[in-house]
Structure 1
Amino acid sequence: MKLAARLRTPLLLLGMGISSVASFQTQAAETINFGIISTESSQNLAQVWQPFLDDMSRELGVEVKPFFATDYAAVIQAMRFNQIDLAWYGNKSAMEAVDRAGGEVFVQTTAANGDPGYWSLMIVNQDAPYQDIDQVLADADKLTFGNGDPNSTSGYLVPGYYVFAQRNVDPSTAFRRTLNTNHETNALSVANGQVDVATFNTEGMERLKQVNPTAAARLREVWRSPLIPSDPLVWRKNLDDEEKEKLRAFFLDYGTTAEQQQILADLQWGRFQPSDDDQLLPIRQLELFRERTQLAARDDGDGEARRARLAEIDAQLEQIEQRIETRSAQAGSTQAPPLAAAQ
């Protein structure tokens, strides 16, 4: 399916580079709808994203409209119903978009500071008595917990396995009260004493130190996850192949000038790199590990069904591990992806 018959530059121009695409701005301008997950308020996101979207619009010769929503699920659903053409997701939400919304990973972000990815955090206020996560969990029934969006990688999936599933703790019942919200709200709620402990991540912490250093100084890290792969960008799989190549060319060529590098730096990114759906293999593995841990700890009397599901999970995990090993060998590395290596 075409992007509403837009981006009609002939295929032969692809080899001429992204600057050639810009010369065709006289063609009928339509719209590319770009989904952006709600890691913080829409107002803040719009401020840092607009220069990048403006550059994208100029280079491709079409209007690029951001799509903001109050939660990750809305951006996934927007892709499912063809309301957006591509989106920035975290790995967990990208997995949902690929599985349920006809999405496909095509590029990956890189960190502006050179980090190979980012880390999930659990944070408390500096005035709290807690120095590590086990101290927090010992007092969980007295505390309010700020969990992340259910489709967030660092705010929900990763701490859900490493902090809770591995300790056989259900956060929805262990804490006095549990809330679900975005990274920015979690951090500010802890800094202001409205929430006792919350999920966060290192990218959010770096940004908070820039925009609100007073709030950042009030936070203490009590747990850090294994390394999480950098975020993917996902397009609708049913886009026209020619249009996909133009989008891919824009992203992979972007960041060659000082101005573009600064725009990416404001997003906390370096240049984009090629990627595909296999980027999500460690996340799929982690989701299955979490389910297996929870299932193995259950004693609901239906032992046969539980054993059957455990066998299914083990078979899926074996397939994923084989694929990871194949990809690692193709890349000339014997190292497993960061999250997988930490199991």
Structure 2
Amino acid sequence: MKFLRSLITLTVGAAAFACVATAQAEDINLGIISTDSSSVLKQRWEPLIDDMNKQTGLNVKAFFATDYAGIIEGMRFNKVQVGYFGNASAIEAVDRSQGEVFAKVLYLNGDAGYKSVLITNVNSRFKTLDDVFKNTKDVTLGFGDPNSTSGTLIPGYYLFAKHNTPVNTSFKAVLPSSHEANLLAVVNNKIDIATNNTEMLDTLKKQHPDKFAQVRVLWTSPLIPSDPLVWRKDLPQATKDKIRNFFVNYGKTDPHEKQVMAAITGYAGFAASSDEQLLPIRQVALFQQKQKIESDTHLSDDDRKTQLAALDAKLSALNTAVAKQ
């Protein structure tokens, strides 16, 4: 009888411990920006999320949205606690959604980042950039998500602004979409030109070399810092430690983890980072704002001077911060 009571006590105690352990598993939604369809992103990221659950003891689930803003707003309203962003969307998450950069991706080829590109079908009438800018009113442009770094911000500044070609008013049609949709539209000759990035082209080359052969690159941007991971600042420190340790150590030696990372657009793992990696992208964004103000005919001279002075002060501070890096 005494043995039976002890056995019951042990069983009840173990059950209670299991309940406590389950109750203590913290829910974390990992937001992933919509560079591809949700089904493709789920296939790429779920093995990593499964490993994250096992190694951290957290209850991590993927959070997908139809556009970048959905992930930014998800973080703002605490529906997303950790997010994989591009640099431009990370700026929005940091400024509007209590976000903070804590890591960045590493590439298998050793590159420190990736590049924006302008592409067309190999059989299109566009052989050079000059062909595009001769008569943009006869050109359909597949553009990126408004919060995309490589699809919108970088080509908007380094390509279209430098050719004095406002995107919204210069083309026959502008069709904002995901990188995947724009790439397929070019491959299938449905649009004339589109912005994209070298990550997507590398993936297409590996997985579908026949389709890659249908793409001509017309322009390539300067290097863009690799994509950041962002968490909400108000996460408990113990949770942050678990998340950071998982990411910075993942994919370094374990063959399974390396395979998982390689499947996510050719990544090799992650490295620690901070909000400082966003500074060069902030410079580009401020330059664009300055150009818009300078060309805004609806502003009075006084308003224009006031707004430009404020932007120049921000740019000066950014230039100083970048110089110190």
Q: TM-score, normalised by structure 2?
A: 0.90
Secondary structure, aligned partner of 1:271: strand
Say if 2:97 is the partner of 1:101.
yes
Task: Give the partner amino acid of 2:279.
Answer: L
Contact 1:112 1:264 in 2 (8 A): no
Say if 2:54 is the partner of 1:53.
no
What is the total number of aligned residue pairs between the two structures? 304
For 1:166 and 1:298, locate their aligned partners in 2 and report how far apart those are by CA, in whole Å.
Answer: 17
Query: In structure 2, what is the equivalent of residue 274 of structure 1?
Result: 272
Task: Give the partner amino acid of 2:195.
Answer: T
For 1:127 and 1:191, locate their aligned partners in 2 and report how far apart those are by CA, in whole Å.
Answer: 10
* Structure 1, 284-293 or 99-108: larger mean CA deviation: 284-293
Instruction: Decide whether aligned partners of structure 1 residues 265 and 312 sit closer, same or farther in structure 2, where only a CA change above 3 A counts.
Output: same
- Correspondences of 1:317-332 after superposition (within 5 Å): 317-327=315-325
For 2:106 and 2:304, locate their aligned partners in 1 and report how far apart those are by CA, in whole Å.
Answer: 40
For 2:151 and 2:227, locate their aligned partners in 1 and report how far apart those are by CA, in whole Å.
Answer: 13
* Structure 1, 91-100 or 26-35: larger mean CA deviation: 26-35
Contact 1:56 1:64 in 2 (8 A): yes
For 1:71 and 1:253, locate their aligned partners in 2 and report how far apart those are by CA, in whole Å.
Answer: 29
Query: In structure 2, what is the equivalent of residue 201 of structure 1?
Result: 197
Return the match for 2:33 from 37, 46, 52.
Answer: 37
Task: Give the partner amino acid of 2:202.
Answer: E
Aligned identity (percent) is 45
Say if 2:259 is the partner of 1:262.
yes
RMSD value over aligned CA atoms?
A: 1.6
Secondary structure, aligned partner of 1:226: strand
Query: In structure 1, what is the equivalent of residue 170 of structure 2?
Result: 174
For 2:116 and 2:321, locate their aligned partners in 1 and report how far apart those are by CA, in whole Å.
Answer: 25
For 2:127 and 2:293, locate their aligned partners in 1 and report how far apart those are by CA, in whole Å.
Answer: 30
Residues 251-277 of structure 1: CA deviation (Å, up to 9, x unaligned): 111122122111111112112111111
Contact 1:165 1:294 in 2 (8 A): no
Task: Give the partner amino acid of 2:289.
Answer: E
The runs of at least 4 consecutive aligned structure 1 residues that moved more than 3 Å come to: 297-301
Q: Where does structure 2 lack aligned partners over 5 or more consecutive residues?
A: 1-17
Task: Give the partner amino acid of 1:103.
Answer: G
Question: 1:129, CA displacement in angstroms?
Answer: 2.3
State the structure with more CA Rg.
Answer: 2
Instruction: Decide whether aligned partners of structure 1 residues 27 and 155 sit closer, same or farther in structure 2, where only a CA change above 3 A counts.
Output: same
Question: 1:186, CA displacement in angstroms?
Answer: 0.2
Return the match for 2:310 from 286, 294, 312.
Answer: 312
Query: In structure 2, what is the equivalent of residue 27 of structure 1?
Result: 21
Instruction: Decide whether aligned partners of structure 1 residues 301 and 153 sit closer, same or farther in structure 2, where only a CA change above 3 A counts.
Output: closer
Between Structure 1 and Structure 2, the one with more strand by share is 2
